[in-house]
Structure 1
Amino acid sequence: MIYATVVLETEIEKLCSLYCEEENVSLTNEYIEKSKETYRTLTAKGDAILGIFEKNEDVENVNLIGCVSIHYLDDLYPGYENAPYVHLETIIVKKNYRGKGFGTLLLKEALKLCKDKGITYIIAQTGADNVAMRRVYEKVGLVNDYVNYYKKLI
């Protein structure tokens, strides 16, 4: 069974494992503990991490196979319809689950969650070379405007 729901603090280790697998780095207790602190900060201000989970009927263990961070923001700029908007970040699907529609399902669920909360505008980013993610964005109705600048400060 596949389902999407908000990732709980008790599932942070699974989330950290997913992130570390994606970045090909070791999972450490220090990283897990820091992530729990960050999770509490994010959720205290209303942000969420939506996960897509796989549960086999004959197994108690639930597998986190993908996630997206949902950051709620406010802005007075009329282009955002003077209402809260969302920035979607850190969209990941485990490598062996890619190309099977799970990214699309994850984003559809994220968009539904946002719409249910009255969000009027969504921003999502990916690298110009990430063709697969760009296709997923387009499948769920996001429009590509190709404007993305950044500067690493530290």
Structure 2
Amino acid sequence: RWRKEILEILDLERHLVLFANLEPCHMSGDEASMPGDGRNTRVRLYYIIESEWQSEAFKLFVQKLDRWYIYYWRQRGGDTPPGGNPPRIRITNTTNPKKAISPKGPNGLWRNCYDDAWLSKKTPYELERMGIINEDYDFTLPEAPPIPEDALL
């Protein structure tokens, strides 16, 4: 839902078609960082658990949308952050990365949305049933603002 909101704010509704065939089970998950990570904060970091089917280009696109969401969420509060739970700050766990092994990815996406290694494990029949669009998707988004330092405190 919030991705739709961000795409509308950025006047990039053309990207909504990309999410039409996606369900929550197709997206990456996350797990909370452990207490004692050296930060004195109420904001927890979440380590991304990557979905195996997603290409690097698709992952970067979604991560950029995440950063835009954090940026606009912080703007709503003016000088002070808005109330309620803040958006999750999702990062890659470089010491212990995890992948969600998903035999089923979404159907009907553009070929560059899928990871090549994941596709190579599919049978010709499975590939045909997936209805992959034989073109590359244009993931262009404006450069996302960096996550403000005070969001990590």
Pairwise same-fold verdict (TM > 0.5): no
Give the TM-score normalised by structure 2.
Answer: 0.28
TM-score, normalised on structure 1? Answer: 0.28
Of structures 1 and 2, the larger Rg is shown by 2
Task: Name which structure has the greater RCO, CA cutoff 8 Å, separation 6+.
Answer: 2
Higher strand share: 1
